[in-house]
Amino acid sequence: MELKVLKATITKEFQVRLRAYPVSFMVGCILTSFYTTFGAWLMYHYFFRGQLSESFGSLTGTRDYMSYAIVGSLMYLFVVRTCLNVSRTLMTELWEGTLESLMLAPFRRVSYFLGNMLLQTITTFGETSIAALIGVLFGLRIHDFNPVGFIIAVLLSLYCFFGVSLILGCVMLYTRNTYITQNTLFTAMFLVCGITFPKEYLPMWLRVLGSIIPVTDCVSLMRASLLGGFPQDQMVKLVIRAFVIGTAYIALGMPLMKKVEIIALEKMEG
């Protein structure tokens, strides 16, 4: 039954994306990463004049700012695309008038959300690959590739992003709002998760906020697997911490989603 739900969800979502969403939507997502990369390039070359403080190298383990910023922007594109589309699934059902019939269907929530996550992961990999090619033109260089660390970083990121998408989906469904909710969260992530600069430059309370969002550790792991500069014991700590936080998000998100679904259905009935 679970595999049938998983397969049916992937097939349905693929047909929707193939027929309903134009190519311009994908182009717009790639442009988001381009603007982030281009903004970092302008700041580095024209505002900072290509100069970095000594603290940057000691905090990040690299002196290549453009590679640091581009990897961060690619991860930001990945988290936005996966979290956004997975968290909006039930809101889409609500807008289309199919939420009530979906809730009556005998299916497991995990299979439904995993189906959405798997399909979104495949499409996002394509968009991220194109954005990475653009990043090469702006100075992306792989200094110390760790294939094992890269695979762990990808799998752990997907696991953590799935948890974040569940919490975001609960907030969206409860408030019946996507635009303000998603943009507030993604703006906060961009600020506190170390996308284009080390989070250690932020005030303490913002660093604490960033530490409870698993995106921060996932971005650091991806940079460590591509750019090096992190000792192995520190990478192990990042993996453990990201896994624990991601698990907490999933453990909280799944039962919370069921309660929010009931509230959403009650609101539909007036």
The pLDDT, as a whole number, for residue 268 is: 67
pLDDT, tens only, 187-204: 899 999 988 888 888 999
Cα 199 to Cα 27, 60, 172, 208, 262, distances in angstroms: 29, 10, 27, 10, 38
The pLDDT, as a whole number, for residue 239 is: 93
Instruction: For 137-148, give the DSSP string.
Output: HTT---SS--HH
C-alpha 116/C-alpha 168 separation (Å) is 15
Name the residue with tokens 């100069």.
Answer: 51
Residue 64: how many other CB atoms lie within 10 Å = 18
Residue 25 banded pLDDT, cuts 50, 70, 90: low
Of the two residues 104 and 231, the one the predictor is more confident about is 231
Judge whether residue 218 has pLDDT over 80.
yes
Of the two residues 77 and 267, the one the predictor is more confident about is 77
Quote the distance between the C-alpha of residue 218 and its chain's center. Answer: 9
The pLDDT, as a whole number, for residue 270 is: 54
C-alpha 164/C-alpha 154 separation (Å) is 15
Residue 154 banded pLDDT, cuts 50, 70, 90: very high
The pLDDT, as a whole number, for residue 156 is: 94
pLDDT, tens only, 38-47: 888 888 888 7
227, containing H or E segment:
helix 214-227
C-alpha 254/C-alpha 170 separation (Å) is 9
Cα 251 to Cα 93, 162, 245, distances in angstroms: 23, 11, 10
The pLDDT, as a whole number, for residue 249 is: 94
Residue 182 banded pLDDT, cuts 50, 70, 90: confident
Predicted structure pTM score: 0.89
Of the two residues 9 and 153, the one the predictor is more confident about is 153
Q: Of the ranges 19-23, 40-44, 64-68, which one carries the lowest mean pLDDT score?
A: 19-23
C-alpha 85/C-alpha 103 separation (Å) is 19
Name the residue with tokens 């997975």.
Answer: 86
Residue 24 banded pLDDT, cuts 50, 70, 90: low
Q: What is the 3-state secondary structure (H, E, C) of 66-123?
A: HHHHHHHHHHHHHHHHHHHHHHCHHHHHHHHCCHHHHHHCCCCHHHHHHHHHHHHHHH
Q: Taking CA 161 as the corner, what is the angle to CA 156 and CA 166, rounded to the nearest 5 degrees?
A: 135
C-alpha 6/C-alpha 56 separation (Å) is 44
C-alpha 106/C-alpha 102 separation (Å) is 8
